[in-house]
Structure 1
Amino acid sequence: MKVAVGGTFQPLHDGHKLLLRKAYWLSHDVDIGLTSDEMATGSRVRPVETYEERENKLREWIKKEIGVEPNIMKINDPYGKTLTEDYDKIVVSPETYPTALKINDIRKSKGFDPIDVILVNYVLAEDGDPISSTRIVKGEIDTHGNLLKRPKE
């Protein structure tokens, strides 16, 4: 079984880790699309590490936690190889679910079979809101969802 998953993965947080664990639970044949520098910084107002830095951190975490050498590829658009190669499953978060639906629409229009979409729910922070890279960078929470700034009462 061939599985696709993608993202910027920075900072690498518990939500990302759950997504990656799910992908590798399904199969050890996982293609990880990691956003290029241009794509990662294009519409973001927060700083993003370089592709090489993000790739190294992602590679080291997967080798340590999953025990495999990951297949990481640079992507310059939200689709990567999913529009041209056969995948059995694509693992997405609620944030990227609409992109997976669009991928399948494009695949169908090109005569390809759709990819089975596996939705992994958000990992919630201590306050019940989703862990997100933006919240981490803002200093609201850490990568595990622990509150760093208490809400004002």
Structure 2
Amino acid sequence: MDYTYNKIAVGGTFDKFHKGHEQLIKTAFDMAENVLIGVSSDAFASRKSHNVECCEKRIKNVKEAIKDYDNNYTIIEINDAMGTADIDANLDAIVVSEETEESAVYINKIRHENGLKLLDIVVIKWVLADDNIPISSTRIRKGEITQDGVIISD
């Protein structure tokens, strides 16, 4: 297969693994021979939200989602929004959602300061639930929707 990139990064908390996460990861695997997946550590994830699944479970869910891909991949635990994207000279691109595009722009600022090539930023659109509102881990935790975006009625 011809890939656009040699190595691409994707990162997130990946709590309540859902269709939006699937799309983020699928995009990375479709575009690069080597995929670096950063999963937020428990300490980092807890700063964002409470009641987040443990990192071990979130990594297990990511591994389950990528089991059918043939690409080379590495999963790392990350302690901030940059992971290793600000210092990894082998990275060509980063996949982000509309929500996290600003983080990728910041990573490129730091890469520039570090004398590294800027990453191509691949932005995926929100994956919408049945009510046309984005699927999110927060909405799933609140019991509003399922991981597939189906509305949970009272």
Partner Cα separation in structure 2 for residue 3 and residue 68 of structure 1: 11
From the two aligned structures, give the one with the greater strand fraction: 2
Say if 2:33 and 2:72, in contact at 8 Å, map to a contact too. no
Say if 1:4 and 1:31, in contact at 8 Å, map to a contact too. yes
Counterpart position of 2:30: 25
Q: TM-score, normalised by structure 1?
A: 0.91
Deviates more, 1:131-140 or 1:69-78: 69-78
Counterpart position of 1:114: 118
Give 1:69 shift: 6.5
The counterpart of 2:99, out of the listed 68, 81, 95, is 95
Percent identity, aligned pairs only, is 41
Does residue 85 of structure 2 align to residue 82 of structure 1? yes
Counterpart position of 2:18: 13
Counterpart position of 2:64: 60
Give 1:10 shift: 1.1
Counterpart position of 2:149: 145
Query: What SS does the aligned partner of 1:9 have?
Result: coil
Does residue 47 of structure 2 align to residue 42 of structure 1? yes
Give 1:28 shift: 3.0
**Runs of 4+ in structure 1 over 2 Å off:** 65-70
Q: In angstroms, what is the RMSD of aligned CA positions?
A: 1.4
Give the count of matched residue pairs: 148
Partner Cα separation in structure 2 for residue 13 and residue 107 of structure 1: 30
Gaps of 5+ in 2: 1-5
Counterpart position of 1:3: 8
